[in-house]
Every structure is written in C-alpha cells, then in structure tokens.
Amino acid sequence: MAINQHFFRKTIIAGSGLFLCVFLVVHLSANLILVLPAAIARGLYNSYSTVLRESLFIQIIAYLLYASILLHVIYALLITLKNRKAKPQKYALNHYKQNSTWTSQNMGFLGTMILLFIVVHLANFWARIKLGLGAPVGLDAAGYQDVYEITNSLFHNIYFVCFYTLMAIPLGFHLHHGFKSAFKTLGFYHKKGLRIIANVALWYALIIGIGFGIIPFIVYFK
Amino acid sequence: MKIIFKIWRQDSPAEEGMLKTYEVDDLTEDMSILEALDHLNELLVLRDEKVIAFEYDCREGICGQCGIFINGRAHGPHDQITTCQLHLRSFNDGDTVVIEPWRAASFPVLKDLIVDRSAFDRIIESGAYISSKTGSAPEANAILIAKEVSDTAMDAAACIGCGACVATCKNSSAALFTSAKINHLNSLPQGESEAHKRVIEMTSQMEAEGFGSCTFTGACEVECPESISIVNIAEMNARIIKAKIFG
C-alpha cells in the first residue's frame, strides 16, 4: 500500500503538537506555585521539581517531550520546504487576510519564535539544573536543589521578564491555530464537535498565553 | 466606466511573464469581468496586438473553466463565486484591477491566464469512479440511501474542479478538491466496495502531482464557488486512517 507522506508527516506534527499542548497545561499549573508568597513557594517549588527529576515515570515523559519537540520541528520544516516548492511563484497581489487568519498563514514564523524561546529557556534552566552547566545550583533549607532561586532571580531581571512575556504572544497565537487544526488533521470531522474544539482552542490559547506571559511580571513585582 | 487592468502576459510555459497595463474606457458596470476581457481583446485586435488568452465555457458559474486571480483573490473580491459571476459593478470607476493566472507548481502557466489543470484529471482518473457495469439506469429504489447521506454526497459532488482551492492555498494543496471527490463516492453505497482503495490511490496521486499539504488555513472554503467545507478534508484524513487499518 502506498505511503501517504503528506498525511504521515501531518499526523506526526498534529500528534506531537497535542502532546505538547497537554505538557503546557501541566507546566503552567506548576508555574502557578511561583505566584504564592515566597516562604511557601520556595519549599513547594523545590520539592515539586525534585519529585519530577527523580520519578522514573517523569523521566520517560521527559524523553517523550524532547522527541515531540524535535519531531514537531523537523517535520514542520520538511513540510514547509515541500509546500514552498508547490508554490514557487507568489502572486503580485494577494489579499489572503480576506479569506484566512494571519495566524494560520504564518505558523512557521510563530513556531520559529517559540523555538527561539525554547532554546533560551532551556539554556536558563535545563542546561543549569540537568546538565550542570554554568553557576552551580544551591540547596534550600530542606536540602533540595534551589530551582526556585534560579527562577526568582531570573524573573527579577527586567530583560528576561519582558522576553518571557513577549514570547508568550506567539505561543498563544500558534496554539490557537495548532490546537484546532490538529484534530482535523487526525481525522475528527464531526461538524458540531469541531465548532466546540474551535471555542476550546481559543480559551486554551488565551489561558496558556496570558498565564505564561503574566507570571514573570507577578514574580518581578512580588 | 474606466478600469486600469494589470494583466499577466506570458507567451509560453518556457518564457518569462510579466504584468502589462491596459487602460480600458467605455466599459459598463453590468459587464462581467470576462466580457470586459472580451472587450479589451477586441481593442487589442484592432491595435494589431496579441489577444489575452483566458479560459471560459458556460459563463453561468457551473463549468469551473474560468478561474483567474483577480485583485489578490481567487475569482475576485467576493467569497464563493466563480470569475464569470464577477461584474464590474464590484469595482469603482478608475480602479486598478490586477489579473494573474492560478499560481501552483502543479498548474503550470500555458499562456497568459491559462494554466494546465490536467493534474486534477489525473487525480480523478486514479479513483474517482465506480467499477460497475454501465447500461440502462437501475430501478431508483433498488438501493435505498438516507436523505442526509445523499445530501452529504451531493454537497461534495458539487465541486466543479475550478482550482480556486489550489490557487488560494499558500501551500497549493489540492486537499479540498481531492477530499470532495473522495467523500462524494465514499459516502454512497455504490462507492463503498472500492472506498479504501479509492482514498489511498487518489491521495497518493495528489501527492505525486506535487501539490502541497493542507495546513487548514481555511482560505479554500472561502474562495470555493461551491462552498465545499474544509470538514471534507478532515473526513478524508479519517478515511485514510480507516483505509490503512482495514484496507
């Protein structure tokens, strides 16, 4: 049987994208600890991150997460290159905003912004905590690695606060289109269901975008 | 009424094309855009210049021949109409109207505004038929079909193959066209026995023709003169999964 390359690639992008959508919910929920008073937040945040690092289940999920990001990026790149080949000549005049949203036409650009953010974000946290690069991580009163302190000091640097907040904007837009589009790619074609998914996508994108965008500011002014 | 046309002129697939400007007076707002092009061609004949090549047939919105990109939109500034249904009353006196052929690697320009859409024919040939005996029409009630099923099939069958979906899609995806043709036959009992083979063969041919993949911008359903919904594409994806598992 013939291999449907378009469908296979899109399925990988949609599947990995939805997995990352679930991850973002978990991540944002954990980040909410940061808005609590410092005395409570430090202990909770450090014990939570220690549990994550030491749990075998989470270690497996972490590898799934790395794989999802890589597959999402690589296949998006492959599809984009092929799609560009399919339209080698652009129109002299194209009012595409009259028939589609800007977001849906610029998912690649939005995705690149998010990837840029992920690289900086991983350099700030993952490289330091997991790989032990840069300044060593201190311990808190309970003897856990003081991840709270890393976050807290980072979000007291106004440049990083602005960077994290600004980068939540492309994330929100990317999620709005990606979330509802993924279901269609995976073959969900119930009309009423798709309308509900479109509404859920809007709320999901708003909550995730605003949530990740506002927490650094709250920490900064805390 | 005066219109300043900027029209794509290209002598052959091998040659480079360019937009050329033509100022045309004495048009009326009741003219269709095709009649305005006819009028311009008559002027060009009198001036001993090459006429502009463009396609048309029925001029009543059902044949799918007259697709061109007008002022940045497939079939012009309105949603869900064909080029022949566009009239000059949609423009103002003195407006500039830019006319280009469909742009897609799979639809090479043959001359001026005419593109080669035989890629669509090859997708049809690959599976949009039913291998059953032909002959006199069977008794109408021999195969019972529920109203909603026949409605779904008819909605998909309405596709006239104009190519606006490919033209407007940033990826030149033919997913709307192909899905309409697949869902038309696959939702009916007559098409069921070859359903899995049809969806795989037709989507494979769609890829072989070099069309891009669908990223659900939704532009195609806005420009489609027959209002084919992009839900058809999601349904096609479900049919691919079904065919892979049960086919």
CB B178 within 8 A of CB B202: yes
Are B92 and B199 contained in the same domain?
Answer: no
Asked if A56 has any chain B CB less than 8 Å from its own CB, the reply is no
Burial A212-221 (b: 16+ CB within 10 A, else e): bbebbeebbe
Give A188's contacts in chain B (Cβ within 8 Å).
234, 238
Percentage of residues of chain A with pLDDT beyond 70: 99
Confidence of residue A138 (pLDDT cuts 50, 70, 90): confident
Q: Which residue of A has its CA nearest to B80?
A: A99
Asked if A81 has any chain B CB less than 8 Å from its own CB, the reply is no
Are B136 and B233 contained in the same domain?
Answer: yes
- pLDDT at site A3: 64
Q: Which residue of A has its CA nearest to B101?
A: A91
Q: How far is CA A139 from the centre of its chain?
A: 28
Task: Return the bridge partners of B16, or none.
Answer: none
* Distance between CA atoms of residues A109 and A165, nearest Å: 18
* pLDDT tens per residue across span B166-189: 999 999 999 999 999 999 999 999
- pLDDT at site A2: 53
- pLDDT at site B140: 82
Do the domain assignments include residue B111? Answer: no
Report residue B213: phi and psi, to 5°. -100, 155
Contact A86 B71 (CB under 8 A): no
B19: CATH: 3.10.20.30
CB B225 within 8 A of CB B168: no
Q: Which residue is it, tokens 């070859």?
A: B194
Percentage of residues of chain A with pLDDT beyond 90: 87
Containing A147, the helix (H) or strand (E) segment is: helix A147-154
Q: Please give the span between the terminal C-alpha atoms of chain B, in angstroms, as a whole number.
A: 59
CB A100 within 8 A of CB B219: yes
Contact B203 A6 (CB under 8 A): yes
Q: Six-digit token pair at B113? A: 């505004």
Q: Which of A79, A100, A184 is nearest residue B213 as measured by Cβ atoms?
A: A79
Do the domain assignments include residue A106? Answer: no
Question: Is the pLDDT at A9 greater than 80, yes or no?
Answer: yes
CB A66 within 8 A of CB A19: no
Please state, rounded to an integer, the average pLDDT across all residues of chain B. 96
- pLDDT at site A28: 98
Contact B207 A87 (CB under 8 A): no
Give B241's contacts in chain A (Cβ within 8 Å).
186-187
Range of the domain at A69: 5-85+126-221
Do the domain assignments include residue A37? Answer: yes
Q: Give A25 to chain B, closest Cα distance, Å.
A: 24
Confidence of residue A11 (pLDDT cuts 50, 70, 90): very high
Range of the domain at B217: 118-246
Are B96 and B130 contained in the same domain?
Answer: no
Q: Give A175 to chain B, closest Cα distance, Å.
A: 14
Task: Return the bridge partners of B96, or none.
Answer: B4
* pLDDT tens per residue across span B132-161: 777 888 888 888 999 999 999 999 999 999
* Distance between CA atoms of residues B231 and B221, nearest Å: 9
Please state, rounded to an integer, the average pLDDT across all residues of chain A. 95
Per-residue pLDDT of chain B (247 residues; tens, 9 = 90+): 999 999 999 999 999 999 999 999 999 999 999 999 999 999 999 999 999 999 999 999 999 999 999 999 999 999 999 999 999 999 999 999 999 999 999 999 999 999 999 999 999 999 999 987 778 888 888 889 999 999 999 999 999 999 999 999 999 999 999 999 999 999 999 999 999 999 999 999 999 999 999 999 999 999 999 999 999 999 999 999 999 998 7
CA angle B172, B173, B177 (to 5 degrees): 120
Asked if A195 has any chain B CB less than 8 Å from its own CB, the reply is no
Q: Which of A86, A96, A104 is nearest residue B210 as measured by Cβ atoms?
A: A86
Torsion of CA A42, A46, A48, A54, to 10 degrees: -170
Q: How far is CA B57 from the centre of its chain?
A: 13
* pLDDT tens per residue across span A160-203: 999 999 999 999 999 999 999 999 999 999 999 999 999 999 99
Containing B109, the helix (H) or strand (E) segment is: strand B109-111
